[in-house]
Homo-oligomer: A and B are copies of this chain.
Amino acid sequence: MEKKLPTIKEIARRLNISASTVSRALHDHPSIGLRTKMAVKKLAAELNYEPNQTAIFFKQRKTFTIGLVLPNLREEFFSAAINGIEDVALDHNYIVLIGQSHDDLAREQKLVETMKNHRVDGILASISSSTTHIEHFEQMKNYDIPVVFFDRVPDAKDIHSVSCNLYDSSVEAVEWLIRNGHKRIGYLQGPPTLNMKHERLDGYMEAHKKHKLPVDESLIVSTNLSVEGTRSAVDALLQLKKRPTAILSFNDYVTLDAIQYARQKKLAINKDICFVSYANVPVTQYVEFPPLASVEQFPYDQGVSATELLFRLIDKKVAGQESPYENIVLKSELIIR
C-alpha cells in the first residue's frame, strides 16, 4: 500500500530534464523557457504532484508553523484569542500548533520543548498561573525562535508582549462603583504569578486615592482560581464586621463562582453586594446575575496583534536583523450592563 507520491525527480526523469529545471519551472523562474515550463506544469498536474513540505522545511529552515502555548481552552477568552491568531496565521499560510499548560509549569516547559523540537518558526504564549520563571521561554533565543507573550504576560524586561491596559479600566471600574455609592469595595485578586504587574491593584488604589477613600487591606483577598479558593476568599470578605458592598474580582469565571457562593450565603446580589469583573465573556449573558460590569479585554484583537508582532519578528529574523523588545498595550473597556 506504499503509495509513491510523485516527486520533482520523477517529473524530471519522465521529461528527460534535470530536477533543477523542474523546480525552477514550477516556481516560474525566468530562466526557464516557456515550452519546458508548460510541459513541466502539465505533467505535474497530471501526476498530481505536490511538493514535499518536509523536505522544504528541512532545506529552508522554516516550518510555516507557530506554536501556541496557553493555560486552557475552556475559558472563552482564550478560544476567542485563538480566532484572531488563526486568522492571521492562515493569511500568512501558517498553521498553529497548540498546547495547553493547564496552569502547570512542568507541562508548559514540556510543550515549549516539544515545539522547539518541531522547529516552530515562533511561539505565542500566555503563561500558566504556576509559572514562576520563564527560562524555558528565554532559551528559545538560542534557537532563534521568537516568543511573544499575550494577555498573561510575565513581569520581565527582555520580552515581546501584547496585553491590555488594565490599569485605566481598573480605575474606571472602581470609580464607577464609588460613583454608585459604594464606599467599601473588596478586591478579589488572582494568584501572585498573574498579578506581577498589579495593574488591577494599582488602579484600585488610584481610584481610592482620587476619591479620598481609605484603603482597607483586609478588603484585599486572593484566589488561586479554583472554586474552593474563590469561596474561601469571598468568605473572608463576608466575615468582616464591615463587609464590602461591592467586589472587584479577577475575572468573570471567578466572579461566577463568587456570586454563586454569595447567593448560597443568602446575600441579595446587586443589593447586598455587587460584582464588577474582567474579561466580559459572552456566556455571562445567560446567567441570572452576571457581574454588573466587566472589563472587555478584546481577546480577538490581542490575538491578532500578538500574531502580527510575531510575524514581524520572524521576518526580521529571516532578514538577519535584530529586533528591539516590543510591548504593545491595547486599551480595554469597561462594559456596563
Instruction: Select the stretch in A53-61, A179-187, A325-333 that faces chain B.
Output: A53-61
Closest B residue, CB atoms, query A142: B3
Pair A96/B95 contact, Cβ less than 8 Å: no
Interface residues on A, range: 35 or more
A115 vs B100: C-alpha distance when bound (angstroms): 20
Known: A54-B63, A57-B58, A100-B82. A74 touches B76 (CB 8 A): yes
Chain B hits for A65, CB < 8 A: 97, 118
Contact digits for A133-146, partner B, Cβ 8 Å, 1 yes 0 no: 00000000011100
A57 vs B56: C-alpha distance when bound (angstroms): 11
Pair B80/A74 contact, Cβ less than 8 Å: yes
Known: A54-B54, A57-B58, A286-B256. A3 touches B119 (CB 8 A): no
Pair A50/B117 contact, Cβ less than 8 Å: yes
Pair B76/A118 contact, Cβ less than 8 Å: no
Pair B287/A3 contact, Cβ less than 8 Å: no
Is A158 in the interface zone, CB < 8 Å from B? no
A280 vs B36: C-alpha distance when bound (angstroms): 61
A contact patch SS = mixed
Chain B hits for A142, CB < 8 A: 3, 48
CB distance from A215 to the nearest CB of B (A): 31
Contact partner of A86 among B74, B83, B100, CB < 8 A? B100
Closest B residue, CB atoms, query A53: B117
Chain B hits for A58, CB < 8 A: 52, 54-55, 57-58
Pair B256/A119 contact, Cβ less than 8 Å: no
A55 vs B117: C-alpha distance when bound (angstroms): 11
Pair B74/A119 contact, Cβ less than 8 Å: no
Closest B residue, CB atoms, query A94: B114
Contact partner of A320 among B1, B48, B90, CB < 8 A? B1
A5 vs B143: C-alpha distance when bound (angstroms): 7
Contact digits for A59-71, partner B, Cβ 8 Å, 1 yes 0 no: 0010111000000
A-B pairs, top 8 by smallest CB distance, nearest first, are A288-B288, A73-B79, A58-B58, A98-B98, A54-B58, A256-B286, A286-B287, A54-B57
| A residues at B contact (CB < 8 Å) | 1-3, 5, 48, 50-55, 57-58, 61, 63-65, 72-74, 76, 79-80, 82-83, 86, 90, 93, 95-100, 110, 114-119, 142-144, 256, 260, 283, 286-288, 317, 320, 322
